[in-house]
Structure 1
Amino acid sequence: MSQQNLWKDKNGGRPRRGQLVLGELPAGLHLSVPEAQALHKALEARLGAVVLVLTDNRRRMVSARRMGTRIELRAHHMFVGCEAEVIDALARLALRAEGLNEARATIRDYISRNRDTIRFEVDEDQLQARGRVHDLQAMLDRWRARFPVEELADIVITWGRYGRGRRSIRFGSFDFDRRMIRIHPVLDQAWVPDYFVEFVVYHELLHALFPPRQTATRRVVHTPRFREMEARFPRYAEAMAWEQHNLPRLLDR
C-alpha cells in the first residue's frame, strides 16, 4: 500500500496540530523520541491533527477515537519505527476507511512480528519454585551457570497446577511472553528422580535458546538444533527410558 494522505482540510487552511504523549510509558523504557516524533508527523500527514498516545498496554495494542477536530490514536510503543505500510494501516483503522480489513491484517501481522517488545510482568510472590521434594530454582540456577547467556538471564520458574485431563500429561511448558517455565506438580514426588525433573527443566530452557521457526507450511517447535542440544543432557537416555517406563504411573495420579 503506497503512502496516502487520507485526511483533507475542509477549510483549505493549514492542519491543526495534535500532540505526542509519552507520559504513559514506564520509567526506564528505552524509546527513540525522534522516531516517535517521526511516527506522529507521518500520522498527521495522513489524518490531520492527531493526539498520539504511546502506551505499554499489553491487552490492546491500538485504539482510536475522534475528539472534535482531532483523532486520538493510542498505540503500543512497538509501532515506533514501523514502516510506511503499517502507518497507512493505522491511519485507515483510525478513520474506518476503505480497506479496513486489509489494514487490520497488516497491523496483526506487525504485532505478531514484534511480540518480543510486549512486556509481561510476573508477580514473583506467586512463584513456587521449591516443592515438597524437588527444588526447581536450584535446577534452573545450575543450568544458567552452565549457559551464562542473555537469553536465560530473565527466566523464572514455578510449579504449575494439576489439570483435569488424565489421558495425557505435559511435564513442562515455557511461556515466551512471561519468560516463565512451569513444571507439572505430578513430578514433585519422592519416587520421581531428581535427574528426570532436571531434564524437564533443561528441555524448557532450550525453548528460550532455540525458539520455534516458521516454515512455509508449518511451525517447527523442536528444531534440529533443539533436538541435538536436548540429546546432550548428561542422563538423556536414562531420562527417556524412565519416562517410558513410568508414564502410566504418572497418568494415574
Structure 2
Amino acid sequence: MIRIQGIVKAAQIARSQLQEGVPPSRRLSFQQFVQETLGKIEEICANANMSPSQLPAPSRKAYDFLAQIDLSNLPVASQNSPSVSVQPIRLKNIRNQQQQFLAAIASIVANSQNSHSQTQQLLKSLQKTAAAIEAICTQQNATPAQLNKTSRQTYAWIKFLTDEANLERHLNTTRRTQKLAEKMLWSQMQHPCKTIAVEFINITHLYKGKISPLEASAQINQAFINADDEILAALVRLAFLGKNQEDSQAIKKYALSEEYSEVVLELDLIADTAAENPQGKCYNLDRLFLTLNQEYFGGKMVKPRLSWNRSFTTRKFGHYERGRDRVVLSISLDSDRVPQYVVEFVLYHELLHKQHEGKWVNGRLNVHTPEFRQDEQKFRKYKEADQWLTRLASE
C-alpha cells in the first residue's frame, strides 16, 4: 500500500479556505489547486495500478473530501460584500473579559448563598459580551468565523455559556471538580498550596495544570462538563500529580465518547456562522424534514433551523443545538453514493433530540434515554441505515 505525502495537508488547506469563504480574486486559483491535487493523486494511483479508494485511511478520506468539493458553487468570503477582507479579526480585550467571567464563576462556586442572583447577573453579562463581539464583527462586514483562533475559541466559550442550561452545567461541574481537588490536595495529601483553582475553558488540549506552595491551578477542556466524578477525579490527579497510565487511558477513552464530542462540535459550530443553507449538493434538508415530519411526527413538529456543516466528518454525522434550535448535518452525507434513507435517518435522529429532553443520571446528562432509543428504532430502515453509517465511520 503506497503513501502519498501532502494529501492530508492539502485537504486541511482546502477545508480552512472553504470555512473562511473563497474571495472572488482567489476563486480560479483555488479551483486549480483542488483539480491539480486530485490529478496528481489519481496519476500516482494509476501508475501503481490502484485506485484512490485503496489508499491508507487518512489519505483516502482527504482525497474523498477534495473530490466532493463543488468547484462550481464555492462559498464566498462574504454574502454581503465582495470586497471584504479575510484577514483574521483580533479582539484585544477578549481574554481579559474571559478572566473576569472565570473570576465570577469561581465566586459563585465558592459561595452557595445568593448563587441564583449571581448566576443570573453572570448570564446577562455573558449575553451582553457575546452580542458586543457579534456587533464588532458585523461592523467589519464579517462574522465570528473570521476571528483569529484565540478570539474565536474564547467567543465560542462565551456564547456557549449564554445558554442558561449550559451555564448551569458548567457551574455544577466546576463546583464538583473544585471539591475533588480540595479533598485530594488539602485533606488526603496535606499539600501546602494556599489556593486551588479549577477552570473549564475552550482549549485544544485535554487539560493542563501546575502546582506550587502558593497555588494549584488547572485548566480543563470545556468538553468535560458532562463527565462523572470518576473522570473528573482522574483529571485532577493528572493535572496536579502527573501522568499515570490508568487515568490517562480513562481520559483518552472519554475523549472519544459521544458526551465529549457533542460539546466539542457545538463549540466548533458556534463560530461557524456562514449562511445556513439546507440545500446541499445532493440533498435538500427542508424537503427531507417535510417527509419525516409527516411520517413520524404527525406534521406537528415546528421546523428547526437546518444546515449542512462544512466540516467533512466520518464519526459525528449530525448535531442538534437545543439553544439555537438548529440541526446541522455533516457534508460527508451530501453525496450521491449515500442513500437518501441514510441521510433521512441521521436527520430523524437529530429531530428526536429536539423532541426528547435528556435526563440527568448520577451527575451526567443522558440524551439517549430508553424512550429515545425506542423511538429511534421506529425508523422504517433503522437496521440498514445503522449498518451503513457503521461502515462509513470505519472507512
- TM normalised by structure 1 equals 0.50
- Give the drift of 1:50: 1.6
C-alpha distance in structure 2 between counterparts of 1:131 and 1:152, whole Å = 21
Q: Where does residue 346 of structure 2 map in the other structure?
A: 204
Partner of residue 129, structure 1: 278
Is residue 45 of structure 1 aligned with residue 183 of structure 2?
A: yes
Question: Which residues in structure 2 correspond to 1:161-172 (within 5 Å)?
Answer: none
Task: Give the share of equivalent positions with the same residue, in percent.
Answer: 13
Question: In structure 1, what residue type is equivalent to 2:106?
Answer: L
Partner SS, residue 73 of structure 1: strand
Q: Are the aligned partners of 2:320 and 2:351 in contact in 1 as well (CA < 8 Å)? A: no
Q: 1:210/1:90 Cα in 2 relative to 1: closer, same or farther (>3 Å)? A: same
Equivalent-residue separation in structure 2 for 1:210 and 1:89 (angstroms): 33
Cα distance change, pair 139–225 in 1 and its aligned pair in 2 (3 A): closer
* In 2: Cα distance, 1:34 partner to 1:132 partner: 42
> Using a 3 Å threshold, how does the CA distance of structure 1 residues 186 and 88 change in structure 2: closer, same or farther?
closer
In structure 2, relative to structure 1, the CA distance for the partners of 1:125 and 1:50 (3 Å cut) is same
Distance in 1 separating the partners of 2:276 and 2:231: 38
- The match for 1:245 is none
Displacement of 1:208 in angstroms is 3.9
Q: How many residues of Structure 1 are paired with residues of Structure 2 in the alignment?
A: 183
Change (3 A) 1:124 1:200: farther
Distance in 2, matches of 1:224 and 1:107, equals 30
| C-alpha contact (below 8 Å) 2:282/2:335 kept by paired residues | no
Residues 231/141 of structure 1: CA separation in 2 closer, same or farther (3 Å cut):
same
Q: Match of 1:175?
A: 318
* Residue of structure 1 in register with 2:246 after alignment: 102
Deviation at 1:40, TM superposition (A): 0.8
State the 1:103 CA deviation.
Answer: 1.2
Which of 284, 292, 295 in structure 2 is aligned with 1:143? 292
Deviations 1:217-250 (A, max 9, x none): xxxxxx9997872349xxx9xxxxxxxxxxxxxx
Partner of 2:218: 73
1:20 corresponds to 2:106: yes
Q: Deviations over 1:108-166 (max 9, x none)?
A: 334426324442425352544335886432322442454449x997673338799xxxx
Shift of 1:71: 1.9
Letter in 1 for 2:208: S
Which structure is higher in strand share? 1
Computed over aligned residues only, the root mean square deviation of the Cα atoms, in angstroms, reads 4.8
Question: Structure 1 residues 31 and 67, CA, compared in 2 at 3 Å: closer, same or farther?
Answer: farther
Tell me the equivalent position of 2:334.
184
**How far 1:93 sits from its partner (Å)?**
0.8
* Greater radius of gyration (CA): 1
Supply the distance in 2 between the matched residues of 1:198 and 1:47 (Cα, whole angstroms): 55
Measure the CA separation in 2 of the matches of 1:155 and 1:92. 42
C-alpha change, 1:36 and 1:131, in structure 2 (3 Å) is: closer
- SS at the partner of 1:129? coil
TM-score (norm 2): 0.35
The aligned residue for residue 156 of structure 1 is: 306
Residue identity opposite 2:306 in structure 1: V
Could you say which residue in structure 2 is the equivalent of 1:229? Answer: 379
Distance 2:281 2:228 in 1: 49
* Preserved CA contact (<8 Å) 1:63 1:74: yes
